[in-house]
Amino acid sequence: MDKQPKQQQIKADEKMLIARMAQEIGELRSQNIELSCIIDQLVAKLNEQK
């Protein structure tokens, strides 16, 4: 009978971890998009100088 609450706690912890990971992935994606824009701008400037 003691295992049930522990199992539920593990499930809750897993859900929290998954939510946190999803949030971090979202943040990484937006940083990635910003970096892509910066790289595109740098490439454009380099091409102008040629």
Which value, to the nearest 10 degrees, does the dihedral of the CA atoms of residues 7, 13, 18, 22 take? 160
DSSP 2: -
Q: What is the pLDDT of residue 1?
A: 54
Q: What is the pLDDT of residue 49?
A: 92
pLDDT digits (tens, 9 = 90+) for 1-48: 567 889 999 999 999 999 999 999 999 999 999 999 999 999 999 999
Dihedral angle over CA of 18, 21, 25, 26, nearest 10: 70
Residue 34, CB half-sphere, CA atoms under 13 Å: how many?
6
pTM above 0.85, yes or no: no
